[in-house]
Amino acid sequence: MFNASRAESSRLPLYCFPYGGAGASAYRGWGGELPGWLDVRPMQFPGRENRFREPPYTRLEPLVAEMAERVETGTPYALFGHSLGALVAFELTRTLRRAGRPTPSLLVLSGFGSPPQLRDRTQVSHLEPDAFWEAVAVHYDVTPEVLAEPLLRELAYPVLRADLEIVETYVYRPEPPLDLPMVAWGGVGDPEATEAQVAAWQEHNRQPVEVRIFPGGHFYINSSRPAVLAALAATARRVTGR
């Protein structure tokens, strides 16, 4: 007889952290397109979607601390983060290690370069809305609809500004390399994470880091979604033996 509870417990939780300005809906549909043994769990940051009444974080430490409380580490699990989400996933993993908690069975870092490579990022979070959007249009990949629509810009400004402030105020502190299955992915021509910056994640892990560059720029996870999800499933299957 089929045991639903046993099947559910055998699934691998995949916690997905969104990119700057986005919410958990960035991963809408992933659960239906990935194998059933992957339990996709999109994580919601404050200040957006169903948490829009909460002030967004402007520093990484409290955001990571909240995520550490919400991630269940009693059984094997995986982390996926894109852009800001990759930084959150990386520092969350180091936080869990310092606390003596189990680290993920797989860490997927997407669309964000190795932190020591990012010292010269352009500072924009201090700018007023008009100047902010002008600078963002030059230095970042942003959905054209947002740039073209004043109402969308008004709605997106507080959250995206706060998310960029997180990145701009982040200070990388050296620690011993991790020792776990890690992959680092990027997009061709991404102005926010070059192939060299993505490949430099290797310095943070004792095990070989699988590096892959997909077509599609910074938001390749959307434009190359079928290939990304196929690669994610294949990688998770390989490292977990599913």
Q: Take residue 188 and report the two structure tokens written for it.
A: 């061709």
Q: Take residue 170 and report the two structure tokens written for it.
A: 């982040």
Q: Within the chain, where are the H helices?
A: 4-9, 30-33, 60-70, 84-98, 129-139, 144-148, 150-169, 195-199, 220-223, 225-240
Active-site residue, selected from the candidate residues 5, 9, 83, 105: 83
Q: Take residue 167 and report the two structure tokens written for it.
A: 């990145």
Q: Residue 105 catalytic? A: no
Residue 108: count of CB within 10 angstroms of its CB:
26
**Which of 192, 242, 176, 180 has the alpha carbon at shortest distance from 35?**
242
> What are the distances in angstroms from CA 173 to CA 61, 91, 99, 116?
12, 10, 16, 9
3-state class (DSSP) for residue 173: coil
| β-strand partners of 187 | 214
Q: Do 164 and 20 form a contact (C-beta atoms < 8 A)?
A: yes
Give me the active site residues, please: 83
